[in-house]
Structure 1
């Protein structure tokens, strides 16, 4: 592989370095950065199930349809042990694994052939009050991922859609702390909820009510320019410009901008000008060689690593940052 300084550049990204990747990442480079014909990136995407990271995750599936024996936590997770006390939560259980496979572009037919949705309906229960898997629980982020994964696998997720409509807060967004009485939305919870609703709309076409909910939640973030407190105009948190992959549940300007890009392409609208400051924040983080650096991943058990260590150039962040800036600059 050529050094980054001499790599061929398109849209200021080191293309050959990006292309030399697992199919889960490479097909997105071909589609979103190189704008290759559909037959090119679709052929690469089809390889996700047969090789690399996708194949490795599929091999870890349990006979009952789950991963690591649990819905959100592995079966052997000790809620009173070191992990729970600060060593980082594990990222190996069913929900996190489904999130990765979906985001990597796995064809859902692969999991349908395994009867995964039915097996989870029969065998998987949330650690919260033993609730059935596809019904969700009380956490906005967990329910958003369940909505997205259910729509992807063809599950009837009408109940979860209704849940999001009922639990939207007066300011337009969502907050996982609603169960503690919170009436103000959270950047993290709102973005994850929007992602779940968009995934459902993408899979099903959506409805007027889901589109209206997405619009209201989007307004919550856009009114704050994706990074400011509405009351003071100050930075909402130190995590706003801390770019790390995988995103998991954490908000950042890059995570939000990539969602707004995807939503705009789906809805057929132009970028909202209120994102301009966040876009410049993303642009400022790009290195002279066209890459973005890994800020530091959340600690915890993983099946295997899929990106660079802290401080090193990240292929995932470079893909995402490049496609966000290309979308914004070419709008």
Structure 2
């Protein structure tokens, strides 16, 4: 079964193909690095690069496209603005040198400001998820994001996680906000080695999720919502146990640690979602404006989710070695 699935996955856009070669096929670096280099010149990556504006932005905005107003009645969140586009290119594996040659970090510093209070782009704003993506994108492009990194340490909630609604007075962490915040801190620790403060904050945030086995209420042990087992790509900002397990897989590679046994029930949810043919099915795309679709509609086998699911299970199943 795996060989057939691997061949199916390999027949894909370079953004996905190089990861299949590296993580599932154990291809030598010269093979997957060659495929990865093609992101800049063909397929999804090249299409997004061609849409960059002369001032460094995409769609004329930082988090929302220029002219967007929620009152207009447009379905969902638009996914075309600068932050979302950078997220995609970074997560797909585009070589940062391509955007550094375009002076993207400098152009965004000069021309891009947050819709919230007109704040400078690389200084971040008040939303945990937005700040986490800005940390990861800034590190990737060579911008100074140390101020935002310190912001995460200062804004960690007493229960160990984060919540984007802290500005509204929330003192309880959110699964969604905590996972996205952890991704930003992991990017910082991986790129720089981190500091005692960032490593401690990340450990505390991870413990917040692990104490809840990645999907349970601490008070009752019941799932926090049906969305924990609803797998959709792109992940965007939303939480599910596959998204969380992929974070912990990446963290284990950075930290040199084994999977935590408290993840066992979450991994069982991931495993149960795999079909008899070895694939995972798209639950449904997040509604909203996109440049173009990068995965299948709801109900069809998803190459992206199958890559993540297969990779997570392989990591988990090797934990005793």
The TM-score range, normalised by the shorter chain, is over 0.9
Give unmatched runs, 5+ long, in structure 2. none
2:229 counterpart SS class: coil
Which runs of 5 or more structure 1 residues have no equivalent in the other structure? 1-7
The residue aligned with 2:285 is: 297
Residue 179 of structure 1 corresponds to which residue in structure 2?
167
The alpha-carbon deviation at position 204 of structure 1 amounts to 2.1
Indicate the SS of the match to 1:240.
Answer: helix
Query: Matches of residues 106-255 of structure 1 in structure 2 within 5 Å?
Result: 106-255=94-243
1:216-243 CA-partner distances (Å, limit 9, x unpaired): 0000000000000001101101110000
Q: SS where residue 165 of structure 1 aligns?
A: helix
Q: Would the aligned equivalents of 1:144 and 1:192 in 2 still touch at CA under 8 Å?
A: yes
Are 2:89 and 1:65 aligned?
no
1:75 aligns with 2:63: no
Shift of 1:32: 1.3
The answer on 1:44 being equivalent to 2:35 is: yes
| Structure 1 stretches of at least 4 aligned residues deviating more than 3 Å after TM superposition | none
1:315 aligns with 2:303: yes
Q: In structure 2, what is the Cα distance between the partners aligned to 1:280 and 1:246?
A: 22
Q: Partners in 2 of 1:278 and 1:33 — Cα distance?
A: 22
Q: TM-score, normalised by structure 1?
A: 0.95
Pick one of 20, 29, 35 that aligns with 1:29: 20
Alignment length (residue pairs): 319
Deviation at 1:212, TM superposition (A): 1.1
| Aligned position for 1:20 | 11
Aligned-pair Cα RMSD in Å:
0.9
Contact 1:151 1:204 in 2 (8 A): no
Query: For 1:34, what is the secondary structure of its paired residue?
Result: coil
Q: Deviations over 1:27-86 (max 9, x none)?
A: 111111112111211111111111100000000001100000000000021232012xxx
User: Partners of 1:161 and 1:325 in 2: how far apart?
Assistant: 31
Matched, 1:276 2:264: yes
Distance 2:67 2:125 in 1: 21
Give the alignment partner of residue 2 of structure 2, picking from 6, 9, 21: 9
In structure 2, the partner of 1:329 is: 317
Deviations 1:227-267 (A, max 9, x none): 00001101101110000000000000000000000000110
Q: How far apart, in 2, do the equivalents of 1:146 and 1:269 lie?
A: 27
- Give me the TM-score of the superposition, normalised by structure 2: 0.98
Q: Which moved more, 1:223-232 or 1:201-210?
A: 201-210
Single out whichever of 321-330 and 29-38 deviates more from structure 2: 29-38
